[in-house]
Chain A
Amino acid sequence: MTQDPAASSRRSDAPIIEIRGLVNRFGDQLVHDGLDLDVRRGEILGVVGGSGTGKSVLMRSIIGLQKPEAGEINVLGEPMLDRDPDDPALLAVRKRWGILFQSGALFSTLTVSENVQVPLREYYPEMPRQLREEIAAYKILMTGLPDNAGPKFPSELSGGMKKRAGLARALALDPDLLFLDEPTAGLDPIGAAAFDEQTRELQQTLGLTIFLITHDLDTLHAICDRVAVIADHKVIAVGTIDELLALDHPWIQEYFNGPRGRIAHGQSRHPGRPVAGAPA
């Protein structure tokens, strides 16, 4: 590599997403109150919390679909809030993330392959059509869809295939950062495990950073490097599952040590790995 290693390591240390003092409110209902969170380069960060604690709102705030009341959000070193939406720096950040919504959010009037081509067409209109189609084709295969999925419409796909097609679209621009909103919800355990495996493999081969919202304890154990717990309008703890288990918070204990948590922990193929310098 041609780059200065010192500079490279300095950049690697900077978090890819940095959230400080985030406040979100819907009417009288306070969702986030001074929430802080860092997502480091190259990690899979799992975000957990009870229903209604604002996991999806957090994701929507980061990607700019929800305007927070106060706080600071930096993604890839760019401040995201209070900016002109057409700012080229913001556009450059948007090109470097991919988002998988909960139910895939595929465009229902387009086929799978057209769906995957939408970001390419939008951001790189000068790209030759043939290359664009080839890219769509290998992305579709890369996410584990069968080779006849290209011309199908979303309504013809099963839930798991919709998610894979959504993932293919999220990966269309070769992003550095991937947001997954409950990717295994609604999948059968085999499909969910396969999806986890696929996510891990893609993360390693493509060097992705993944922000993953999930309720699936198996996913947390299988692929997350660190887990952030949202409760009481804040991120109350971030760390490996083992680190979280050592904390004495009732919700965390209930969550990971409840009957489901214990089973997932016992069967875990990949127990939580400590990441250097993880804050308690």
Chain B
Amino acid sequence: MGQIGLPRNANWHSVGAMTQEADLSERDDAQGRTVALSGSLSLAHLGDIPQRIDAIDGEVAQIDLKGIDHIDTIGAWIVHRFAERTQARVIGADEDATRLLEVVARNDTPLALTEPEPHPTIRVLAQIGAATKIVGHTMYGLLGFLGATVMAMGHMIAHPRSIRINALVQRLEVVGIAALPIIGLMSFLVGIVIAQQGSVQLKQFGMEVLTVNLVGRLTFRELGVLMTAIMVAGRSGSAFAAQIGTMMLNEEVDAMRTIGVQPMQALVMPRILAAVIMMPLLGFYASICAIIGGGFLCAVSLDIPPITFIQRLREVVPITDLYVGLVKAPVFGLIIGIAGCFQGLQVRGDAEEVGLRTTSAVVQAIFLVIVLDAVFAVFFTWIGWT
């Protein structure tokens, strides 16, 4: 190891000093055409030197660095590349320049900076193929995860003591109680919108009073639960994916396994159970809030007093409408919980993946909820709960 005396590295002395812009001149010596560089051959003072050097054509015998007062690796690289191209000899290099030229020459290996681009047709086909593969994999994975969830549930029923009550209660609070204000407000507003839009249409037939049927049946059967599912997917499904994903990155999940705690029992089941338990409750609450919103609008703009509204509601909304909503809700909760936890457990690599997986969890949950909602609509019609 060499001695590090202070004045050894001569390139500091451009520090703070007035430095000259790099310049280039040509002359003819005894050895032939000579390109002389001068000034500060460093990144900040290069100016248009790279372009001017590239523009030099033909034979060059020598590159003269005598006039240079400062050089950095970028200057050295430009000199090196120029010397390689023209086979010129570098003269007048001081200790610094010689050392830096050696460094850059040692690191001059052709290096691929980008992957070769395939033909566009092939690329599009490859993308379609890759996307199909991902969809297949995800579906397969989700199905497998559903199976694992059912097994974990079976285990839980067989060994009730393995239920993590504390974790479950905590999730119930986060998924359910904390969501009450936002879901209540949203449903109330949706109720108002339905009543208002419905009354405008029904007025054309002089049937404004049917607005009550519209609000009551629509919210209990469809909107209450569906809006709640979308909100829970956005609030809690995404949180499940992000929390578990972050734990995956921190190797917390691996640590759990080695300690003998099953992530399915400790992480996944409390979340899925919380979603399954809370969805019917939140769905019912949302329906009530929507009906209050609808009733509010009826009272304000249709002159239907609340008492009449409630009485009419009892006459026109069959109890099966409530059952329709309550049957769907836990299934939606299951889907949201499974999508969130499954995507969370898929996180590998870096933090960016957490974001991608969270997005997938929400998109998948909402998509599957709506698909299943359509299936349920057909099913309930078929069993006569119309």
Q: Which residues of A contact B (CB under 8 A)?
A: 1-3, 7-9, 11-12, 14, 16, 40-43, 76-77, 92, 95-96, 108-109, 111, 113, 124, 127-128, 131, 133-142, 147-148, 150-151, 154-155, 173-174, 176, 200, 204-207, 209, 225, 269-270, 273, 275-276
Contacts and interface: CB of A to CB of B under 8 A. Distances in A.
B50 A141 contact: no
A154 B16 contact: no
Contacts of A138: 73, 77, 104, 107-108
A37 B157 CA distance: 65
B7 interface: yes
B69 interface: yes
Interface string B329-365: 0000000000000000000011111000000000000
Q: Is the interface of A mostly helix, strand, loop or mixed?
A: loop
A198 B353 CA distance: 32
17 contacts: A8-B13, A11-B12, A77-B15, A77-B16, A95-B44, A124-B43, A135-B77, A138-B77, A138-B104, A138-B108, A141-B107, A150-B114, A173-B43, A205-B100, A206-B11, A206-B100, A207-B8
A3 B2 CA distance: 25
Contact of B114 (A40, A108, A113): A113
Contacts of B100: 205-206
Contacts of B371: none
B44 A176 contact: no
Given A9-B7, A174-B72, A176-B12, A113 B104 contact: no
A108 B355 CA distance: 12
A8 B99 CA distance: 21
A139 B100 CA distance: 12
B259 interface: no
Contacts of A109: 352
Given A12-B13, A204-B2, A207-B12, A154 B94 contact: no
Given A142-B103, A174-B72, A207-B12, A128 B50 contact: yes
Given A124-B43, A173-B43, A273-B4, A207 B9 contact: yes
Contacts of A269: 1
A184 to B, nearest CB: 18
B109 A3 contact: no
Nearest to A140: B111
